[in-house]
Amino acid sequence: MTGAFTAFDAHAMRRALELAERGLETTDPNPRVGCVIARGETIVGEGWHERAGEAHAEVVALRAAGAQAAGATAYVTLEPCCHHGRTPPCTDALIASRVARVVFALRDPNPHVNGGGADRLAAAGIEVAHGLLEAEALAQNPGFVKRMRTGRPWVRLKSAASLDGRTALASGASRWITGEAARADVHAWRARSSAVLTGIGTLLADDPRLDVRRTHPVQRAPARVIIDSRLRSPPTARLFDAPGAVIVMHAADAVAAPGAAGALAERGARIEAIHGAPRVDLAAALHRLGELAMNEVLVEAGPTLAGALLEAGLVDEWLHYLSPTLLGPAARPLAAWPALERLDAAPRFAITGIEALGNDLRLRLTPERL
């Protein structure tokens, strides 16, 4: 099912990836998918999946192509589904349209599909090929793929610090270390995330909203998740006034104040008891978020929770915003980390991207050794 691809095949798949990008902030918990229908080297239909419960990319593109789909090639960024979910199987729509060939970038890791879509198309006499621009398709859907493979979401840690690695003054003041362009970028990452996660320390110290604030309308509000072992979250916290669900995860074996859970539930919070004492088991918490169909989780937390996630090997990607300032040795550190006796034992990260945002830099990092 793999093989040589033409220059036009690559062109059509790049266009399908561009279309998929339009659903970057809206498809959750579904993957972002784009589709192009072409006869020869002429594109006759395009589509992308916009949100869960609505038509998939293949169906939208086939509708646009109409009768011209017969004998055409369909380029899809993800293997067409072959099961009934909120919508009928896309394989059925492709077969009914009488396309001659289907090229998809990434095999669907969903156990309900995972090769079954390709097999269904091939059994109907359709030529099938895959693997074209696979890495690019994976980069669009890291959370969906990881959740399907491991049961946990893609964890993206966000931090902002001075040149000397400090995130706030000793007093806790941190507004603002970075400029407007960097803060706007953070809101874009929030908008694509299933949830924004923080710890009780940050909630009590900063009372953040953790919502998406932009000049254009927000189409989907990410959930806000609080790691709060003893249910100390105040019901008056500002994040309860922002759109979107609030999930409070506490340690099942820790002692909370009487009535704390009820007061938070009255504010609309979903209370989740997670194994662990005296603290929440972070791996178990992330697994529970996976069960709740969370694909990408953006962590905006203080040094304690950030360090704990890093030490446990639970961070997939780190977005670090670097401000050209100095805050001094008394200021708060970036992440709590055990003392090292040897330099070669230090955690190391690969830099996968650097972008200037106003007067700040954003580093994209992936762990190499923790």
H/E element, 149? helix 142-150
pTM as predicted: 0.93
Residue 251 DSSP SS3: strand
58 given a catalytic annotation: yes
Beta bridge partners of 166: 333
Is residue 295 within 8 Å of residue 29, measured between CB atoms?
yes
Cα–Cα dist 206/77, whole Å:
41
CA end-to-end span of the chain:
38
Of the residues 25, 46, 58, 272, only one is catalytic, namely 58
Rounded to an integer, what distance in angstroms lies between the CA atom of residue 193 and that of residue 294?
8
Strands 332-333 and 166-168: antiparallel
| Cα 223 from Cα 235, distance rounded (Å) | 16
Instruction: Find tokens 């009914």 and name the residue.
Output: 96
Contact 365/190 with Cβ under 8 angstroms? no
Nearest to 365 by CA among 155, 67, 136, 109: 155
Going residue by residue through the chain (370 aa), what tens digit of pLDDT does each one get?
A: 555 899 999 999 999 999 999 999 999 999 999 999 999 999 999 999 999 889 999 999 999 999 999 999 999 999 999 877 777 899 999 999 999 999 999 999 998 888 899 999 999 999 999 999 999 999 999 999 999 999 999 999 999 999 988 888 877 777 788 999 999 999 999 999 999 999 999 999 899 999 998 766 667 899 999 999 999 999 999 999 988 999 999 999 888 888 999 999 999 999 999 988 789 999 999 999 999 999 999 999 999 999 999 999 999 999 999 999 988 888 888 888 888 888 888 889 999 999 999 999 999 999 987 6
